[in-house]
Structure 1
Amino acid sequence: MDAQDLLEDSFTRIRDLYAAHAEGLDDRTLHHRPDGAGNSVGWLLWHLARVQDDHVAHLAGSPQRWEQWQERFGLPNGPEDIGFGHTSEQVDAVRITDPALLVGYHADVDALTRDYLARVDAAELDRVVDRRWDPPVTAGARLVSIQGDCLQHLGQVGYVLGLLTT
């Protein structure tokens, strides 16, 4: 297995877990915040997709897919808002009216990711994309970071869903 196959496989797992968690959620499940302060399933899924969209679009030199989805979600969050540092009030403001929006948006982000991964080679993985860190961040390191973030948030979603079904 080469690096491109490995990346494609891991992003496939993220896509499949995302869809499995998001399908058919009701309003209560989407917006329940553990202990009244934790992140809701809807916010976690929105944030995961926003981070993947933002970071992959940057790597690919492409527009974010959020530009085409923001109006459908009815959220005021512009392309710069991916959820990092959200206050409790901002988490509450991310109200998802239909889980199918989440599934569709993430599927679109996954397509962006697939398009980018189809062009990835060793030179691209070694390309420095952020010099603000020591050592500077390469495209390969950023892809691993995106995967880690996605998997962490999917685990959080699974945990919150488990709390609601026990």
Structure 2
Amino acid sequence: MEPRDLLVDAFGRIEELYADLVTTDPSLLHERPSGVGNSIGWLLWHAARVQDDHVAGVAGTAQAWHDGWAERFALPVDDRDIGYGHTSEQVDAVRVEADNLAGYHADVQRLSLAYLSSVTPEELDRIVDRRWDPPVTAGVRLVSVVGDCLQHLGQAAYVRGLLTST
């Protein structure tokens, strides 16, 4: 198996989980467990923003967010905000609609796969962030994106289970 095939498969798993979670009853998207946890809507928005921001950063391309999605979502956040470190109040302020989430992530996934289709072993070894020791390679950053997205999608699935159990 080529490294790019492995990454395409991993990002495909993100897409499958995302597609399932975005179909959550819209009335539950903004509910927060115990009133303080992250909502399903926030977790889906954050996962898509992380994937968009980080893959575009590695690929050297524009983010889907800046191609009209920021305006469609009309959130009270900076255009560069991906949700990292959000306070409880900021989580509450991220009010999203399932259609926007689905469309945005579809665009993010399309851009991700376009980049991944051309990835070579040499590309994966390219250093993309020298602020760390050791410096971060494209491969390490992509694996980090997969891990982060799967973690947040797992959290969203857990929240949905909490909210829908009887």
Query: What secondary structure does 1:103 align onto?
Result: helix
2:162 and 2:112 map into 1 onto residues whose CA distance is 31
Kept after mapping to 2: 8 A contact 1:53/1:64:
yes
Equivalent residue runs for 1:8-157 within 5 Å: 8-27=8-27, 29-67=28-66, 68-96=68-96, 98-157=97-156
Q: 1:83 Cα shift? A: 0.3
Higher mean Cα deviation, 74-83 or 10-19? 74-83
Q: Which has the higher contact order (CA 8 A, sep 6+)?
A: 2
Identity of aligned residues (%): 63
Q: TM-score, normalised by structure 2?
A: 0.96
Kept after mapping to 2: 8 A contact 1:23/1:100:
no
Q: For residues 24-76 of structure 1, what are the alpha-carbon distances to aligned partners after superposition, in whole Å with 9 as ceiling and x for unaligned?
A: 5313x100111111000000000000000000111111111101201111213
Kept after mapping to 2: 8 A contact 1:70/1:77:
no
Query: What secondary structure does 1:129 align onto?
Result: strand
2:49 and 2:101 map into 1 onto residues whose CA distance is 10
Q: For residues 5-25 of structure 1, what are the alpha-carbon distances to aligned partners after superposition, in whole Å with 9 as ceiling and x for unaligned?
A: 100011011101101110253
Counterpart residue type for residue 32 of structure 1: E
Q: 1:79 Cα shift? A: 3.1
Kept after mapping to 1: 8 A contact 2:76/2:94:
no
Q: 1:100 Cα shift? A: 1.2
Task: Report how many residues are paired.
Answer: 164
Q: TM-score, normalised by structure 1?
A: 0.96
Kept after mapping to 2: 8 A contact 1:64/1:79:
no
Shift >2 Å, 4+ stretches: 76-79
Unaligned runs of 5+ in 1: none
Query: What secondary structure does 1:31 align onto?
Result: coil
1:133 and 1:87 map into 2 onto residues whose CA distance is 26
Equivalence for 2:164: 165
Q: 1:140 Cα shift? A: 0.1
